[in-house]
Structure 1
Amino acid sequence: MRRVRYESTGGPLFLEETPVPEPGPGELLVRCEAVGVTLPVVRKVTEAVEPIPLGGELAGEVVAVGEGVTRFHAGERVTGLCFGHGYADFALLHEAMASPIPDTASAVDAVALVRSGLVALGALEAARPEPGETALITAAASGVGRLAVQLARVRGAARVVGAVSDRAKADFVRSLGADEVVAYADEKWGEPVDYALDAVGGELLTPAIGALAPGGRLVAYSSGGGTIRAYDLLVGAKSVIGFQMARIARGKPELYERWRLELWRLFGEGALKPAVHGEFALADAARAHAVIESRSNRGKVILRP
């Protein structure tokens, strides 16, 4: 089978031929139909000291199962998070991280909706939104952001502001349901909001805190790091909440499952529409990474083995 790999930090991505892996205990062997490209994986390629397996969210057909697997069998379609090599024709997915794909959805729908949607919904839940409150979503045109904009509206936000790196994305973000769109470089991000969901981190934390109304909440779920001054919180009795999807997936599987079903329900009702920026062949994985690095994507970037 084909697999994408690299040999040194920031090094070029290349295809290699390797044997199809055998599923171990609790694992599924999946024929990959769609693989999501995420900012955390792209960052690790450029920053990690040692090369990492290129994993992430994937969807496809189960072709074999390992010892002890009880929830799935060969022939079923699943989606889930792969911690090993996922940029490949076949990948191993742990049973606990897998979930079924409805007959009405495609593999691309699954990759564009489930993992990104779970992060967006989890971050929104962490903000404890009340109907009629106002929301700010950073990286609003990203795979997670474009779902967070829609979910904030579904949960009753009276005004949704999308923050983007480039104003060229404004029309796209408005089409998702945002009332206003601001650029990161803008001096002022409009009227204060009750809560903000931040997927960027770094230097963007300061203006995101500044955009909160007194008593406002910032949910930080970025891998981009950054520093927040305590004084900026004290001045408006503001708060920051950290959110990590892995903690929910591993520690609260019943909540993870409830959120997953909620996403598919909203998708089926037409209230949640995944957006795909583009689909790339495995051989074009470097181009897919370049789209993410340039922050030019409008929606999910997907590899199609």
Structure 2
Amino acid sequence: MRRVRHTVNGGPEVLFTEDVAAPEPGPGELLIRTEAIGVTLPAVRKVREGSEPVPLGGEVAGVVAALGEGVTGFAVGDRVTGLCFTHGYAELAVVHSAMASHIPAHATAVDAIALVRSGLVARGAYEAGRPEPGESVLVTAAASAIGTLALQFAKAGGARRVVAAVSSAEKADFVRELGADEVVLYGDESWGEPVDVIIDAVGGELLAPAVRALAPGGRLVAFSSGGGTIEAYDLLVGGKSVIGFQMGLIARNKPALYARWRDELWQLHAAGELRTSVAAELPLNEAARAHELIESRRNLGKVVLVTGQG
């Protein structure tokens, strides 16, 4: 089978495709013949900034090719999506059954990649901010896969004002179509009228201006892999708070809630009430191009690798 990996850290150019033996599913695991693979900013950062090369895991979707010992609820031939923690940029990927779910008949593998993981994070981060109807919400990385869905959750949740923060003015029309009432650029001197909730997917140097953009009593939800530092005084002055969010904790500690959110995502998608956005579908051997697209911040929505096996 083919897979993509890297032996040194650096830019997209260090990725290469190799032929290797197919993996075997262990106890409780599924072997998935992938059709679509999600490319995420954390994966891109691991290649660029990691201390050492690591397997490129993440979201995969396809057909169950084999079952490990003790697996229940799945059968060979089922269409599934899930999180792979080993080599996910591959034609065959291993996923633990606890991190997998079925793809409804109305959806494609690309739909699953664009909706499930990004939608769960967007929904969870939005809920973590404890928004009240009539409050204002700002979403950073608003043109990303997670950001596009977070905008829609904010609009549907009754936000008085939804603000999209993006890297360039070329993205303004795109995020307005998804529900943004206003658009600001990261480099703007001011992000306008302060907001009650910020859903931040960027972190790093953007944390300081994001905190300044909060209204008194405002909440910033941080779930980015970009890190960053906040001065405690900047929070104390306006009684502001920062809330860390990690979807993995929900999946492990509140599986019923995780499953309910996932089912609701599919219901909203089937009803046409939640729009997914796919920036590009690229073949597996163009993983470097996919990473470059995300690094350059040119993507409008999800970047997906496809294997041509669907």
Task: Report TM bin, short chain.
Answer: over 0.9
Give the equivalent residue in structure 2 for 1:199. Answer: 201
Q: What do residues 118-142 of structure 1 show as CA deviations (whole Å, max 9, x unaligned)?
A: 0000000101111111100000000
Give the equivalent residue in structure 1 for 2:45. Answer: 43
Q: Which runs of 5+ in 2 are unaligned?
A: none
**Quick one: which of 95, 117, 120 aligns to 2:119?**
117
Give the equivalent residue in structure 2 for 1:173. Answer: 175
For structure 1, which segment, 262-271 or 96-105, has the greater mean C-alpha deviation from structure 2 after superposition?
A: 262-271
For structure 1, which segment, 100-109 or 11-20, has the greater mean C-alpha deviation from structure 2 after superposition?
A: 11-20
Q: Which runs of 5+ in 1 are unaligned?
A: none
8 Å CA contact 1:154–1:271 kept in 2: the answer is no
How far apart in 2 are the matches of 1:155 and 1:105?
A: 25
**Post-superposition shift, 1:34?**
0.4
AA in 2 matched with 1:145: G
AA in 2 matched with 1:20: A
Q: What do residues 156-198 of structure 1 show as CA deviations (whole Å, max 9, x unaligned)?
A: 1111000001111111111111001100000111111110000
Give the equivalent residue in structure 2 for 1:298. Answer: 300
Give the equivalent residue in structure 1 for 2:4. Answer: 4
Give the equivalent residue in structure 1 for 2:79. Answer: 77
How far apart in 1 are the matches of 2:232 and 2:22?
A: 51
Structure 1 position 182 matched with structure 2 position 169: no
Give the equivalent residue in structure 1 for 2:222. Answer: 220
How far apart in 1 are the matches of 2:296 and 2:245?
A: 25
Give the equivalent residue in structure 1 for 2:17. Answer: 15
User: Between the two proteins, what is the percent identity of the paired residues?
Assistant: 68
Structure 1 position 100 matched with structure 2 position 105: no
**Post-superposition shift, 1:153?**
0.8
AA in 2 matched with 1:69: V
Counterparts of 1:155-304 in structure 2 under 5 Å?
Answer: 155-304=157-306
AA in 2 matched with 1:265: Q
TM-score for both structures, normalised by structure 2: 0.97
TM-score for both structures, normalised by structure 1: 0.99
AA in 1 matched with 2:80: V
AA in 2 matched with 1:183: L
Find the residue that maps to 2:114 and give its secondary structure: helix
How far apart in 2 are the matches of 1:101 and 1:152?
A: 25
Find the residue that maps to 1:115 and give its secondary structure: helix
8 Å CA contact 1:201–1:226 kept in 2: the answer is yes
How far apart in 2 are the matches of 1:175 and 1:219?
A: 24
RMSD: 0.8
Give the equivalent residue in structure 1 for 2:26. Answer: 24
8 Å CA contact 1:119–1:245 kept in 2: the answer is yes
**Post-superposition shift, 1:250?**
1.6
**Post-superposition shift, 1:235?**
1.0
AA in 2 matched with 1:217: R
Find the residue that maps to 1:16 and give its secondary structure: strand
**Post-superposition shift, 1:262?**
1.4
Find the residue that maps to 2:238 and give its secondary structure: coil
**Post-superposition shift, 1:154?**
1.3
Find the residue that maps to 1:153 and give its secondary structure: helix
**Post-superposition shift, 1:19?**
1.1
How far apart in 2 are the matches of 1:89 and 1:140?
A: 31
AA in 1 matched with 2:7: E
Find the residue that maps to 1:144 and give its secondary structure: helix
After TM superposition, the runs of 4+ consecutive aligned structure 1 residues lying more than 6 A away are: none
Find the residue that maps to 2:14 and give its secondary structure: coil
Q: What do residues 82-132 of structure 1 show as CA deviations (whole Å, max 9, x unaligned)?
A: 101011111001000001111001100000000000000000010111111
Find the residue that maps to 1:235 and give its secondary structure: helix
